[in-house]
Amino acid sequence: MKASTCKACGNVTFPYQPICSRCRGRNVEPVELRGNGRIVSYTVNYQYREGFERQAPQIVALIELEEGPKILGLLTDAEPEEVYEGQRVTAVLRRVSTDSYHGIIYYALKFRPVRDGS
Amino acid sequence: MVRVFLTGASMFKVGRHYNMGFIDLVNEVFSSLESSMSFQTDAVVVASAYPEKTSDQVLLASKVIQEMGMGDNVLGLRVEEGDASGLAALAVGFSLVKSGLAKNVLLLGLEKQSEFPSRRLNDIVAQNLDEVYSHGVGLTNHSVAAILMREHMKAHGLDYEYYASWPIVMHDNAKGNPYAYLDFKVTMDAIKSAQVVSDPLRLFDIAPRADGAAAVLLSSEEATPKNDARVEVVSVSSSVVRGDYEPRLLSVGNSMRSSLSQAGLSMSDVDLFEIHDSYSVMASMILEETGLTPPGRGLEILQHVPVNVGGGLKARGYPGGATGIYQLAEAYQHLTGTFPGKRVENAEVALVQGMSDLGETSFSALLRVM
């Protein structure tokens, strides 16, 4: 997870962009985020997009990463009733959709809860 | 300085027009406008957000110019800025008239969104989301709005009933509006028991996307009839602010304040607001940016100032990129006393606010009777 750290104001912008999202300074350097954070808010979505039927219901969370940025992410390896605000999560690479006609499998980042011992 | 006036408006009922293509829709609004006034069109600016995906169509402005027999020297453009396309088209048309390049510019809002199941439409409108980390992982606009609603509830200690007041008023406003998609009353019980789309967002918290076509004519002062009540487009402003998932809409506040300051007016001078209520929580956050209500209590403004008197996106319907043209057409008809539904009496100043579905970009226009 590549982000940018602003050398002028210290703000971390995710995903990486060459301009700071807070002070608009150009003096930024790339930084690799660890992918760890906590759930700030979440929603269980029952109205999915075409091609994502097998994910329903989706758990979408607003996650505050350790390095500061807040991002939206899909939770995986979790049931809606287990999720709570403040829960620790970590990023993992997972399959998101399959284009059976062209034979392409799409992967992207999702977040799974961090449980004791995991 | 060249002044720009709104000199005509025409709308077609928002709805599920399965039997009509783009040109059929254009024909309805253009022939209605032509029958009510005479004008020579110099330019056509089409506002449409999703025609490539919904109808496999591009080159819409050229097709309109040909099919409507407008002549060989008419400039045709299409403006796409997601669901803010309507007011983005106004910014283009306003510039064409201001610059002297055109005397009459037809702004035409066109969208077709009904011919699909919701999962397909959700996929199309998700094009608005960040390419890699939101669209790419399968998120929907509704989920993003649901998160914002949750954050808004937490920040201001609000319960669900607060938001339910919005669809009740909007549906009530839409009764009598012949162009409204959902012109029926709804009750608190119906809203609270409607299906959950993305918790806490339920069906009535979401503006219903549908097909629509609307047109307004922008004219230079010399092309504006002298004997009518003249509606001037005093200012058009926009703002883009990167979303940070905080429950506020900074782009909206920026664009509205800019429109007002260019006109030398303040929020309390506005007789009528037209706002982009893509979700009830968006309506609240937009109205909070007026500064006329306590923080987190945007919907309370409904008790004091007319807002979305024709039913807004919630009940008039949400025709995507055509929405801003409907807002302009309605505001024009209120200011000229010609709106066929519930009216605002003696309104002289209207603030029209339109935006992308989730509010990253917002446009505002200040209309004033001269």
User: What per-residue confidence (pLDDT) applies to B227?
Assistant: 73
**Interchain CB distance below 8 Å, B245 and A70:** yes
Mean predicted confidence (pLDDT) in A54-69: 93
Query: Which backbone phi and psi does B331 adopt, to 5 degrees?
Result: -60, -40
- In this prediction, the residues of chain B whose per-residue pLDDT falls under 50 are none
User: What per-residue confidence (pLDDT) applies to A85?
Assistant: 98
Query: Which backbone phi and psi does B149 adopt, to 5 degrees?
Result: -65, -45
- How buried is residue B33: exposed, middle or buried, by Cβ count under 10 Å (0-12/13-18/19+)? buried
Out of 2.60.40, 2.40.50, 2.60.120, 3.30.70, select the CATH number for domain A36-113.
2.40.50
Closest CA to B272 of B342, B179, B357, B214: B342
Closest CA to B351 of B297, B277, B271, B278: B271
User: What per-residue confidence (pLDDT) applies to B221?
Assistant: 94
User: What per-residue confidence (pLDDT) applies to B340?
Assistant: 96
Q: Which residues touch A99 (CB under 8 Å, ≥6 apart)?
A: A105, A106
Listed by start position, the domains of chain A span 2-32, 36-113
DSSP H or E run through B76: strand B75-79
Q: What confidence tens digit (pLDDT) does each residue in A69-78 have?
A: 999 999 999 9
> Hey, is the C-beta of B150 within 8 angstroms of any chain A C-beta?
yes
User: What per-residue confidence (pLDDT) applies to B40?
Assistant: 94
Distance, in Å, from the CA atom of A5 to the CA atom of A14, rounded to the nearest integer, reads 9
- How buried is residue B131: exposed, middle or buried, by Cβ count under 10 Å (0-12/13-18/19+)? exposed
For chain A, give the number of residues: 118
> Hey, is the C-beta of A89 within 8 angstroms of any chain B C-beta?
no
User: What per-residue confidence (pLDDT) applies to B48?
Assistant: 98
pLDDT at A15 over 80: yes
Q: Which two tokens stand for residue B3?
A: 């002044």
User: What per-residue confidence (pLDDT) applies to B343?
Assistant: 93
User: What per-residue confidence (pLDDT) applies to A117?
Assistant: 59
Q: Which residue has the tokens 């219901």?
A: A57
User: What per-residue confidence (pLDDT) applies to A118?
Assistant: 55
**Interchain CB distance below 8 Å, B119 and A62:** no
> Hey, is the C-beta of B67 within 8 angstroms of any chain A C-beta?
no
Mean predicted confidence (pLDDT) in A29-46: 97
Q: What confidence tens digit (pLDDT) does each residue in B265-284 have?
A: 999 999 999 999 999 999 99
**Interchain CB distance below 8 Å, A51 and B201:** no
Percent of chain A with pLDDT over 90: 75
pLDDT at A94 over 70: yes
Which domains does chain B possess? 4-116+209-223 (3.40.47.10)
Q: Which residue has the tokens 């004008």?
A: B39
